[in-house]
A and B are shown apart, each in its own frame.
Chain A
Amino acid sequence: MNEVAIQSDGVATPDFKKIKKKQQLIRFLKGILFLMPSIILFAVFLFYPLIRTIYLSFFLTDASGSTTVFVGLDNFINMFSSPVFRKSMQSTFLFVIFTVPGTVLIGLFLAILANEKLKGIGFFRTIYSSTMGISVAAGSVFWLFLFNPTMGWLNEILNFFGIEAIGWLTDPSWALLSVSITTIWMNLGFIFLILLGGLQSIDSYLYESAEIDGASYFYKLRRITIPMLSPTLFFVITVSLINAFQTFGQIDMLTSGGPQNETNLIVYSIYQEAFMNYQYGTASAQAVVLFVIILVLTFIQFKLGEKKVHYQ
């Protein structure tokens, strides 16, 4: 009995390693199998296009998008020296500066209001989050009427106060602002919802102990709510930043980039260049710029966000 045991030990020991290797391989294959659908689709619709976009940005193309002439960095050089593109970049950054603080501050205000334990608060929460359910196309149509120079409510209100009518979407000095207002309204629901979620996850003990210490409402807001909400706020700010750079629908519906390219934001500019002018090469160069901007923003979010979460 003992002898047999020893013998089988001698044979079995190297076997285990082999079997272990094989089991590891099987585990790997099983894991890949679960991830395969996602990986394939990411490869086809995300990583390949990314590389292809960079590739295209070095070429001139025909109307179908096939490459014709290698031009090196010419597309980029032309792009950065083009006044239209510079205008587009300028508008995009202005648009970001208008919309991000606007959305976050108003969203925060609404979230703080809706976080009070008052009767019927559920109704107000629903209303405030409602714009998340309103599509870009529908929202644009609603605002198109409000901006309407003759019948629109905004001008009627101005008229009521005796102020001269404004060409909200046609006046170059107003158009970008009008589009920004619309965008703030459209993004408000989503931002509100996330901020409210953040507020509700703050431990109520903190408020109760402050209450016992006799802290005032604004003291609690400044010393408890805002610091505790900082990770959520940070997330919301980066998400709005990224969203702002990707804005397209409301431009297409409200202004088509005009007047005088005032609202020709970068995605709309890419769209026009590629699908109206069939300049896939230059459009790709612009897309590369957009990609770099988003990359940097996301990277900042991950790096800083990590710290904030630990802090929480």
Chain B
Amino acid sequence: MNQVELINVSKSFDKQQDILNDINLSIKKGEFFVLVGPSGSGKSTLLRMIAGLEDITDGIIKINERAVNHLPPKDRNLSMVFQNYALYPHLTVEQNILFGLRAKKVNKQEQQKRLNETCQMMEISNLLKRKPKELSGGQRQRVALARSVVSEAPLCLMDEPLSNLDAKLRAHMRIEIKRLQKRLGLTMIYVTHDQVEAMTMGDRIMVLNNGRIQQVGDPITLYNKPANLFVASFIGSPKMNMGKAVFSDQHLIIEDDLHLPKESIKSAMISETKNITVGIRAEHILPAEDSGVTHELTVVNVEQLGNETLISFEIGKELWTAKWLGQWNVHTGDKLPVHISADNISFFDSNSGRLLEASSTEKEEVLAI
């Protein structure tokens, strides 16, 4: 069953045309759906349109199979968590959590029951009498979540709720929000600009840029088969290594620098395309010891992360990064033998940006248990 459905939805302001363009989307009940994109991509606007806080210029938004374009937010039966938490500074935690129930005139006993349940779940029972000013960032976040949970609305919208937390707390809250969503069976629409958040939390992800859908899919699909250059470079960290490529007699030449044997490329469609951009993930530039040296590259930078090592090379005008597991004794200026296989390369049409062929390694990578 579709909890939320968007049909040809678009949005434009008087001065700014096409904030959102022709969005079609359906989100299933109980799904954790992430809207991700750079700032200005229209992701927050889309969320606010679903919430009813923003007018819909064109198209239809349905919640529970019912068109809701004309309904005010309160009649859409949803809850929302804001980036700045939107806690009322003059009210205590308890009053903040019960704010919505009081506005809806839920009876007192029911209020108390839900309050107790929620606070136990969120572990904030000891904070009830405090004001938001007296809470830490993480505690405020929990109160905001509690306010959303206590409403018992089946649909929950979140607008970058973790962006005000420090990195450690953010990683922790990611897990907690995800667990909460599964436990309560909520349908979640979650907006973020952080692709790591999107990858780690989302059942499905929609990548948005300039008001247009770039790709919708589960995290692994987005990573392995990015629909276009934008998705390819947006998803994944470090970002995918890219380069312009041309065919000569026997070789595929990347950035006038890197040569790959032509026969290893099977698809005919690629050879017919004039302008090609190739992409290769950092983990696919392998250390050459076991698989035979294909290239020797000069190291321009090394980042030691302890569990892995990031090594940068200059390929023409591009900076490519390799990610090797473990600790490697490599220094800037070293000539490093590496193994690059054409199988690991994704091909894109430079003009349209569209994917021609994805790297063919996915089957080996995704392990089933």
Contact = CB atoms under 8 A, between A and B. Distances in A.
Interface stretch (A5-13, A31-39, A46-54, A256-264): A5-13
Contacts of B69: 12, 16
A141 B7 CA distance: 77
A164 interface: no
B65 to A, nearest CB: 7
Contact of B60 (A13, A19, A20, A23): A13
Interface in B29-74: 55, 60, 65, 67, 69-70
Nearest to B7: A9
B70 A8 contact: no
A15 to B, nearest CB: 7
A9 B67 contact: yes
Contacts of A20: 55, 70
Nearest to B69: A16
A15 B70 contact: yes
Contacts of A12: 60, 67, 69
Nearest to B5: A5
Contacts of A15: 70
A11 to B, nearest CB: 10
B14 to A, nearest CB: 15
Contacts of B70: 15-16, 19-20, 23
Nearest to A8: B67
Interface string B256-273: 000000000000000000
A5 B55 CA distance: 22
Nearest to B60: A9
A12 B7 CA distance: 13
A12 B69 CA distance: 10
Contacts of A16: 67, 69-70
A20 B67 CA distance: 14
Nearest to B72: A23
A19 B70 CA distance: 7
Interface in B237-262: none
Nearest to B59: A13
Nearest to A13: B60
Contact of B65 (A5, A13, A19): A5
Contacts of B67: 8-9, 12, 16
Contacts of A5: 65
Interface of B: 7, 55, 60, 65, 67, 69-70
Interface of A: 5, 8-9, 12-13, 15-16, 19-20, 23
- A-B pairs, top 5 by smallest CB distance, nearest first, are A19-B70, A16-B69, A12-B67, A16-B70, A9-B60
17 contacts: A5-B65, A8-B67, A9-B7, A9-B60, A9-B67, A12-B60, A12-B67, A12-B69, A13-B60, A15-B70, A16-B67, A16-B69, A16-B70, A19-B70, A20-B55, A20-B70, A23-B70
Given A9-B7, A15-B70, A20-B55, 14 more contacts: A5-B65, A8-B67, A9-B60, A9-B67, A12-B60, A12-B67, A12-B69, A13-B60, A16-B67, A16-B69, A16-B70, A19-B70, A20-B70, A23-B70
